[in-house]
Amino acid sequence: MATMMSPPLALRLASNASSPAKPTHDSRDRVTLLYATTRQPSGPVAARRYGEDVSDELRLGVAILSVDERAGAPDLRALPTLSGMRKQPALRLENLDERATLDAGADLDVLSSEAAGFFAGLDDALSASADKDVFVYVHGANNGVYRTAAQAAQYGQFTGRDSVVVAFAWPTVDNYLSYATDVGNAKRSVLAFARLIELLARHTRAEHINIMAHSAGARIVSAALASMGRAADTTEREILRQHLRLGEVYYAAADIEIRTFVRELADYVDLPLRTTLQTNRDDLVLAYLGFRSGHSRAGRPDFNDLNEAEHERLRAWAAASRLDIIDVASERSGDFPTGHAFWYERRWVSSDVLVEFTYHAPPAARGLQETGKDGLRRWAFPPDYEQRAATAVGNLGLR
């Protein structure tokens, strides 16, 4: 069971807009979530359990979660408008219903009836939704299936707009001492994630495919998108861009070496509408991982790790708004700035995330303030962010 994030500021403000948001639940206390996984399965297909070993197969299914009534308001229809809740409701994973399996070498154009049914169901959900984008969430290390499902599901819930969410559940060991195993499993899941994005592009009507990578999930997303970008030469890139329909690619607390991130980004920086890198100099998890390996992480970068050519690439991408660097250490909505999960734990940050994904809005239009040094453009949360966010949501309006 996992506690839901605090209602984000921007969505509380948006809930006052004239157009009512559609509820994101299938009954009073249930949430439906699509998932894809490279975890080895056990148990019956209609009530799957997934272990910690990696599989070369990609499995697709539907997760059902419920709100624990003992942990706060159970009515999901009320959650987007709640303010100042002292005790947050908790999501409980009720069931995992596996719908289809794709072998590593499967023809992505010729789907089984089960896989075709999965994507048809996703399209049906998009047709009924105000939000025509699909949101793909890739979790970090040391993350069990239940917590992955809860983290992904709450995004859709707090948009209040029936967002269609797919959780990519790669195998991790629920133990901090097994970090090296998780890193290996992330590497083995790269091709499967690339296949998932390709499947979504080929077999859904999503206007955009948005991706959120948290922590070590950045290793999967970055490597997969780089491999897809490298596969297309200069003359094919516009065709690839139109085919993939990548929207926002967001890296939260990215546990990937800064040099690797810059090198791989060069292969796909022109494909999404926008790539966002969240940085936090106070992230103690990334500080420890960088110290232990001797290589700073993209989520807590030491730009001195980059050579001059890499610096210049970063400056050019930031200046052209191909890469937005967000300093979340500037966020002041709560205490304890050392956290590793700001994207859903801190309401200013989660508000900014949701406005970016919902409206495909650049940082200035979301209420952030431009800053930077050494010629590298960055964005920060100003002290009056709440007022700026209110104005931004009003200007952007509901889609």
Residue among 147, 326, 137, 293 at smallest CA distance from 221 = 137
Span 315-330, mean pLDDT?
Answer: 94
What gap in Å lies between CA 272 and CA 197, rounded to an integer? 13
65 closest CA partner among 5, 122, 145: 145
Would you give the distance in Å from CA 282 to the centre of its chain? 21
On average, the pLDDT of the chain sits at: 84
Opening angle at CA 347, ends 333 and 277, nearest 5: 100
For range 28-44, the mean pLDDT = 86
Q: Which of 39-53, 121-135, 259-273, 329-343 has the lowest mean pLDDT?
A: 329-343
pLDDT, position 58: 95
Q: Parallel, antiparallel, or unpaired: how do β-strands 369-373 and 376-380 relate?
A: antiparallel
Residue 21 C-alpha from the chain's centroid: 21
Higher pLDDT, 28 or 180: 180
Are the C-beta atoms of residues 176 and 255 closer than 8 Å to each other?
A: no
Compute the average pLDDT of residues 270-283.
Answer: 94
Quick: pLDDT tens for 76-130. 333 333 233 334 557 788 889 999 999 988 899 999 999 999 999 999 999 998 8
pLDDT digits (tens, 9 = 90+) for 150-206: 888 888 777 665 689 999 999 998 777 788 999 999 999 999 999 999 999 999 999
Question: Residues 6 or more apart from 245 whose CB is under 8 A from it?
Answer: 201, 206, 207, 208, 209
Tokens matching residue 130: 């105000």
Residue owning tokens 């133990």: 175
Q: Which residues of 279-302 are buried (b: 16+ CB within 10 A; e: fewer)?
A: bbbebebbbebbeeeeebbbbbbe
Other CB atoms within 10 A of residue 94 CB: 13
Separation in Å, CA 347 to CA 159, 260, 281, 288: 13, 30, 19, 25
| Section 366-377 average pLDDT | 88
Task: Compute CA 104 distance to the chain's CA centroid, rounded to the nearest angstrom.
Answer: 24
Rounded Cα–Cα distance for residues 391 and 389 (Å)? 5
Name the nearest CA neighbour of 168 among 133, 143, 132, 204.
Answer: 143
pTM over 0.95: no
